Chains A and B, each alone.
Chain A
Amino acid sequence: MSDEIQQFTDARPSAPPYPERARRAARDRLLDEAAGRRRSWRPRLRPGWQAVGAFALTVTMVGGVAVALSSWSQRSGPAAGAGAGTPGTADPASAATESVAVAPPVQGAELNPRPGQYIAVESETMYTSESFGAAGITGRYLYRTHRKIWKSVDGNAAGLLWIEGRAPKKFPGWPLPAEAENWKGGGWNEIAGHCPSWPDDTRTDYAYLSKLPADPAAMRAYLYRTRGGDNPDQQAFTTLGDTFLENYLPRAQRQALFEAAKTIPGVEEKAGVKDSAGREGVALGRVSRGILEQRIFDPETFMFLGERGTVVDAKIAEAPAGSVLALTAQLKVSVVDALPEAKDASKDGSCEMTAEPASPSADPSPADPTPTTSGAS
Chain B
Amino acid sequence: MVGAQALLDGPTLDDSTVITRSLDQPELFAVLFDRHADEIFRYAARRLGGEIAEDVVAEVFLAAFRGRARYDRSRPDARPWLYGIATNVAARHRRAERRRTRIMARVPAERPGSFDDRSVERVTAEQLQPRLAGALAALSARERDLLLLVAWTDLSYEDVAQALQVPIGTVRSRLHRVRAKLRRALGGIDPLSMEPQA
Contact = CB atoms under 8 A, between A and B. Distances in A.
Contacts of B13: none
Contact of A52 (B30, B115, B120): B120
B137 A9 contact: no
A318 B114 CA distance: 7
A346 B107 CA distance: 18
A26 B57 contact: yes
A353 B97 contact: yes
Contact of A53 (B55, B126, B136, B189): B126
Main secondary structure of the interface of A (DSSP, over half): loop
B18 interface: no
Contact of A349 (B29, B88, B138, B151): B138
Interface stretch (A94-102, A122-130, A211-219, A251-259): A122-130
Contacts of B100: 50, 54
Listed residue (B26, B126, B166, B182) with the most chain A CB atoms within 10 angstroms of its CB = B126
A352 B97 CA distance: 12
A246 B104 CA distance: 13
A11 B136 CA distance: 12
B89 interface: yes
A-B pairs with lowest CB-CB distance, top 3: A53-B121, A370-B67, A2-B196
A64 to B, nearest CB: 18
Main secondary structure of the interface of B (DSSP, over half): helix
Contacts of B29: 30, 34
B172 interface: no
A358 B162 contact: no
A53 B110 contact: yes
A325 B111 CA distance: 13
Given A350-B102, A373-B162, A127 B107 contact: yes
Given A12-B151, A349-B144, 16 more contacts: A8-B132, A8-B136, A17-B117, A31-B27, A36-B26, A41-B58, A51-B99, A55-B106, A125-B105, A127-B106, A185-B190, A186-B189, A358-B87, A359-B166, A369-B88, A372-B67
Contact of A163 (B42, B95, B128, B134): B134
A23 B95 contact: no
B124 A187 contact: no
Which interface class (under 10, 10 to 19, 20 to 34, 35 or more) fits A? 35 or more
Interface of A: 2-19, 22-23, 25-27, 29-31, 33-36, 41, 43-44, 46, 49-60, 83-84, 125, 127-132, 137, 143, 145, 147, 161, 163, 165, 179, 182-187, 189, 191-192, 198, 202, 229-230, 245-246, 289-290, 309, 316-318, 325-326, 344, 346-350, 352-354, 356-359, 361-364, 366, 368-377
13 contacts: A5-B182, A7-B182, A7-B193, A27-B37, A34-B65, A53-B119, A131-B129, A183-B130, A189-B138, A347-B138, A358-B164, A359-B145, A375-B165
A325 B103 CA distance: 18
Nearest to A51: B99
A283 B99 CA distance: 26
Contacts of A318: 111, 114
Listed residue (A23, A26, A290) with the most chain B CB atoms within 10 angstroms of its CB = A26
Nearest to B81: A373
B88 A358 contact: yes
Contact of A182 (B53, B102, B131): B131
Listed residue (A4, A6, A357) with the most chain B CB atoms within 10 angstroms of its CB = A4
A165 B189 contact: yes
Contacts of A125: 105-106
Contact of B108 (A56, A184, A246, A353): A56
A11 B129 contact: yes
B102 A348 contact: yes
B132 A353 contact: no
B67 to A, nearest CB: 3
B128 to A, nearest CB: 6
B105 A163 contact: yes
A186 B90 CA distance: 32
Nearest to A197: B95
A235 B66 CA distance: 35
Nearest to B55: A43
A83 B166 CA distance: 41
A358 B141 contact: yes
B148 to A, nearest CB: 7
B122 to A, nearest CB: 6
Nearest to B187: A4
A34 B70 contact: no
A344 B62 contact: no
Given A54-B100, A349-B139, A10 B197 contact: yes
Contacts of A353: 91, 94-95, 97-98, 101, 141, 144
A330 B71 CA distance: 54
A59 B70 contact: no
Contact of A371 (B22, B34, B85, B121): B85
B189 A31 contact: no
A348 B72 contact: no
